Structure 1
Amino acid sequence: MNRAGEPQRAVWVDQVMGTAISVHVLTRPGAPDLGDAVAGCFAELHDMDRLFSTYRRNSDISRLRRREAGISDLDPHIAEVVVACDEWERATRGRFAANRQGWFDPTGYVKGWSVETAARRHLAPLLERSGVVAAGINAGGDLQLFTADDADWCWHVGIADPARPGEVIATLGITTGAVATSGTAERGHHIVDPRTGMPAREVVSATVVADGLAAADVWATTAVVAGIDDLSWIADAATRSGVVIGAAGGIRRWLGTTEVSVQAAETHP
């Protein structure tokens, strides 16, 4: 039960893009029905999955890979993502890239971008409805969060400790914004440095806070590829904050464009 005065939380869950995605909306008594907006959000995510899934033989991205169609012949979202990925490759100075092994694979970008886009279209407008305090979406641990301007609410987001399953190394307080985590702690060395073609091994976890999830996701991947010793990229990233945990246990944190904390590997239990 909620304590007196606390908003009520409603949660909807769907399996999309190979993961459990949940929508959370906090309301006061008298708030209107929200099912239409939530259904619209999930429907858009399913549509994006049908376009971009590399596991669906008939998806637009699979047709593009097999050269059965050109970009101009496919859904306009394909061209939009191609342009975005090219821009992100330049912004990250090659640390993020969607073109590899001879074909275009935007997997590392599409989930964050799709979730942010659907959330802004369907969930953010809920804050204009009477009684709605906050709304957010969780896509496999990556979050896009919104809070009404006049609401006294803060989302508390824990950063998992990769060395201690079930524990956190820090908790972030966010009203409106996005959080993305990337790394090798849960999925192994699945992130490849586009500049070398080799797996990125120095960082087990990188969490980035930004205005939107597409950017947070790209910069979290960039942090993994850059490695624990290189935070030069934060000067141009326009992220709010973040933390990088090295494979040897070292921890580096930043706020804006300034590093604020360094914990050497040998001091991390």
Structure 2
Amino acid sequence: MGDWPQATFCHEAMAAIFRITVAHGDSGYARQAAAEAWGELDRLEARLSRFIASSDIARIGRLAAGQQTVVHPDTWQCLQIAAAVEAQTGGAFDVAYAVRQRFGPGRLWDLDPQRPVVRALVSGVHLDLGGIGKRFALDRLAGLLADWDVRAVLLDAGHSTVLAREAPPGEPGWPVRLGEIAHGPRLALHNRAIASSGTGVRGYHIVEPRSGQPVRRAARAWVLAETAAEADALSTALLVLGPHGARSFLANQVRVEAYWQEEPSQVPCVLTL
């Protein structure tokens, strides 16, 4: 595919296998760029993982009500995206879902709009970036690779989210298939991300933040957006909202597209009004 050789580089972090596929004329240079990206990924995990005691997220969880802490700008930006999606979806996506039932509706944490500072509005705000952190990392890695002038890349963190930048030479985009059905939709992804959330592989692991109950519909949602972080968070939110709520949400979106699959044997279809 294309005139440039392709190479795929893998790295384990954040309990997932990350992959970078590069189309580049200099394979040695591409390998160096990927190695730099993996170093950045490890640094991001150290900031964003709730399982690392020294991480920004773990430190936020230890704050008492009214206390605040300075975080790395990457953490601040990731939380800004999370807060924006929470507001857009009426709480269908919520990184504080694990403690939501204890405290009820309303803000549990706040961000300084000018500085990378997080303030706890209640004690014990345990945040979980599982629905956005890995894909935020993909966006960061794509930016780092662009700084290296490695732009024809496809990145993923376990297949559920794929981020494409420039297409390989002579191609309209990177080929991506939705779902496991052989005749399912095929896309040529170019400067877009696609993410999916569903219950078919890991069971009922997605929680409805507002009720605290698992989402028990056997469905899968795909979202195409400009960034992997936004696509991932919104795919989770749409699964929580269900097909009718998802359509209502999408009615006000101009940069987001979505597909829905009600059963594993069903061909994914475009969500429209």
1:128-165, Cα deviation, whole Å (9 max, x unpaired): 7xxxxx2121111111111169753421101123xx6x
1:8-87 residue pairs with structure 2 within 5 A? 8-28=5-25, 33-67=29-63, 71-87=68-84
Distance 2:40 2:158 in 1: 17
Contact 1:189 1:199 in 2 (8 A): yes
2:206 to 170, 187, 191: 191
The answer on 1:210 being equivalent to 2:225 is: yes
Q: CA deviation at 1:101?
A: 3.5
> Which AA in structure 1 matches 2:78?
V
Using the TM superposition, give the Cα deviation of residue 171 of structure 1 relative to its aligned residue in structure 2, in angstroms.
1.4
1:123, distance to aligned residue in structure 2 (A): 3.9
- Identify unmatched segments of 5+ residues in structure 2: 100-124
For each residue in 1:28-50, what CA deviation from the matched residue of structure 2 results, as whole angstroms up to 9, or x when unmatched? 4x677223321221111111111
For 2:131, give the aligned amino acid.
G
Mapping 1:1-269, distance limit 5 Å: 6-28=3-25, 33-67=29-63, 71-102=68-99, 103=125, 104-123=127-146, 126-127=149-150, 134-141=152-159, 142-147=161-166, 151-161=170-180, 167=182, 169-230=184-245, 231-247=247-263, 253-254=269-270, 258-259=272-273
CA contact (8 A) 1:127 1:147 kept: no
TM-score of the pair, normalised by structure 2 = 0.78
**Would the alpha carbon gap of residues 119 and 202 (structure 1) be closer, same or farther in structure 2, given more than 3 Å must change?**
same
Change (3 A) 1:76 1:27: closer
Distance 1:31 1:45 in 2: 21
Query: Aligned partners of 1:49 and 1:146: how far apart in 2?
Result: 22
Query: Partner letter of residue 94 of structure 2?
Result: A
Q: Aligned-residue CA RMSD in angstroms?
A: 2.8
Are the structure 2 counterparts of residues 105 and 140 from structure 1 closer, same or farther at C-alpha, using a change threshold of 3 Å? same
Q: 1:137 to 1:149 in 2, by over 3 A?
A: closer
Change (3 A) 1:196 1:248: farther
Structure 2 CA distance for aligned equivalents of residues 150 and 248 of structure 1: 34
Say which is worse superposed, 136-145 or 55-64, in terms of deviation: 55-64
Please report the TM-score for the alignment, with normalisation by the length of structure 1. Answer: 0.79
User: How far apart are the structure 2 equivalents of 1:229 and 1:253?
Assistant: 14
Please tell me the residue identity of whatever aligns with 2:137: S
Which of structures 1 and 2 has the larger relative contact order (alpha carbons within 8 angstroms, sep 6+)? 2
Give the Cα separation in 2 of the matches to 1:155 and 1:178: 11
Once residues 226 and 70 of structure 2 are traced to their aligned partners in structure 1, the CA distance between those partners, rounded to angstroms, is: 33
Contact 1:204 1:224 in 2 (8 A): yes
Q: CA deviation at 1:254?
A: 2.8
Which protein has the bigger strand share? 1
Q: Which amino acid in the other structure matches residue 14 of structure 1?
A: H
Could you tell me whether the CA contact under 8 Å between 2:176 and 2:187 is conserved in 1?
yes
SS at the partner of 1:55? coil
One-letter code of the match for 2:17? Answer: A
